[in-house]
Structure 1
Amino acid sequence: MLIKKKIPLPTSLIVTQSNQLVEARYNLPLAEQRLILTMISRIQPDDEDFKPYCISVGELAEFLGVDKASAYRECKKTTENLLKRVVNIDETDGLLQIGWVSSAKYVDGSGEVNLSFDPLLKPYLLKLKGNFTSSKLEMLLSFKSQYTIRIYTLLKQYEKLKEREFDLEFLREVLGLRPDQYQLYADFKRFILVAVQKELTQKSDLYFNFEEIKGGRRVTAIRLLILTHEAVIMNPADKDNGEGALPPLDGLLSLIPEQHRSKKTVLSSVAAYEKKQGYDYVKRNILYSNGKADKSYAGFLVNALKEDWGHDWELEQQAAPAVKKKMTVWERQGFKSEKDYDAFMYRKQMESYQTARK
Structure 2
Amino acid sequence: MESSRSLEIRQHNAITAARYDYSACQLDILFCLLSQLRKEDSSDVSYRINIADVERMTGRQWNYQQLQEATADMGSRLFEVENDKVYKQLWMFQKVEYVKGQGCLEIVLSKFIRPYLFELKDNFTSYQLHSALKLSSKYAKRIYQLASQWKDIGETKTYTINELKVMLKLKDPHGKQPEQFEKFSQFKARVLDIATRQINEHTDLKIGYHLIKQGRAFHSIRFYINNQSPKQLPISFEQPIEDARHQQARQILDNLGIKDTSLIQRILSEKALTDGLFKFNYDLKTGRAKADKNPAGLLLKVLGLR
Q: TM-score, normalised by structure 2?
A: 0.65
What is the Cα deviation at residue 64 of structure 1?
9.8
What is the Cα deviation at residue 214 of structure 1?
1.4
Q: Secondary structure at 2:143's aligned position in 1?
A: helix
- Provide, for residues 162-181 of structure 1, a one-character-per-residue CA deviation record: whole Å limited to 9, x for no partner: 11121111101111214431
1:188-267 to 2 correspondence within 5 Å? 188-229=187-228
Q: Pick the aligned partner of 1:102 from 87, 90, 94.
A: 94
What is the Cα deviation at residue 122 of structure 1?
2.2
Q: 1:174 to 1:64 in 2, by over 3 A?
A: farther
Does the alignment pair 1:54 with 2:80?
Answer: no
Does the alignment pair 1:115 with 2:114?
Answer: no
Q: Secondary structure at 1:138's aligned position in 2?
A: helix
2:165 aligns to what?
172
- C-alpha distance in structure 1 between counterparts of 2:114 and 2:126, whole Å: 16
More helix by share: 1
Does the alignment pair 1:183 with 2:175?
Answer: no
Q: 1:82 to 1:64 in 2, by over 3 A?
A: farther
What amino acid sits opposite 2:160 in the alignment? Answer: D
1:307-326 to 2 correspondence within 5 Å? none
What is the Cα deviation at residue 92 of structure 1?
4.4
Q: 1:127 to 1:210 in 2, by over 3 A?
A: closer
Does the alignment pair 1:93 with 2:92?
Answer: no
1:17-96 to 2 correspondence within 5 Å? 17-47=11-41, 49=43, 51-59=45-53, 65-66=60-61, 71-96=63-88
Q: Secondary structure at 1:173's aligned position in 2?
A: helix
Q: Report percent identity of matched pairs.
A: 25
Q: 1:140 to 1:200 in 2, by over 3 A?
A: same
1:104-183 to 2 correspondence within 5 Å? 104-164=96-156, 165-178=158-171, 179-183=178-182
Tell me if the contact between 2:11 and 2:125 (Cα under 8 Å) persists in the aligned partners. yes
What amino acid sits opposite 2:29 in the alignment? Answer: L
- C-alpha distance in structure 1 between counterparts of 2:89 and 2:17, whole Å: 14
- Provide, for residues 276-300 of structure 1, a one-character-per-residue CA deviation record: whole Å limited to 9, x for no partner: xxxxxxxxxxxxxxxxxxxxxxxxx
What is the Cα deviation at residue 127 of structure 1?
4.1
Q: Secondary structure at 1:21's aligned position in 2?
A: helix
Superposed CA RMSD in Å reads 2.3
What is the Cα deviation at residue 202 of structure 1?
1.6
- C-alpha distance in structure 2 between counterparts of 1:11 and 1:116, whole Å: 27
1:268-307 to 2 correspondence within 5 Å? none
- Unpaired runs of 5+ residues, structure 2, are 172-177, 230-306
Q: 1:180 to 1:91 in 2, by over 3 A?
A: closer
- Unpaired runs of 5+ residues, structure 1, are 1-9, 231-358
Tell me if the contact between 2:12 and 2:119 (Cα under 8 Å) persists in the aligned partners. no
- C-alpha distance in structure 1 between counterparts of 2:119 and 2:78, whole Å: 23
Tell me if the contact between 2:8 and 2:35 (Cα under 8 Å) persists in the aligned partners. yes
What is the Cα deviation at residue 130 of structure 1?
2.1
What is the Cα deviation at residue 50 of structure 1?
5.4
What is the Cα deviation at residue 72 of structure 1?
2.5
- Provide, for residues 20-54 of structure 1, a one-character-per-residue CA deviation record: whole Å limited to 9, x for no partner: 11111111000000001100110124445352111
Q: 1:35 to 1:44 in 2, by over 3 A?
A: same
1:261 aligns to what?
none
Tell me if the contact between 1:133 and 1:157 (Cα under 8 Å) persists in the aligned partners. yes
Q: Secondary structure at 2:76's aligned position in 1?
A: coil
Q: Secondary structure at 2:113's aligned position in 1?
A: helix
Q: Which aligned runs of 4 or more in structure 1 are off by greater than 6 angstroms?
A: 60-64
Q: 1:75 to 1:209 in 2, by over 3 A?
A: closer
Between the two proteins, the alignment pairs up a number of residues equal to 218
Q: 1:198 to 1:103 in 2, by over 3 A?
A: same
Tell me if the contact between 1:107 and 1:113 (Cα under 8 Å) persists in the aligned partners. yes
Tell me if the contact between 1:11 and 1:136 (Cα under 8 Å) persists in the aligned partners. no
Compare relative contact order (CA 8 Å, sep 6+) and give the higher one, 1 or 2. 2
- Provide, for residues 5-26 of structure 1, a one-character-per-residue CA deviation record: whole Å limited to 9, x for no partner: xxxxx95432111011111111
What amino acid sits opposite 1:118 in the alignment? Answer: S
Q: TM-score, normalised by structure 1?
A: 0.56
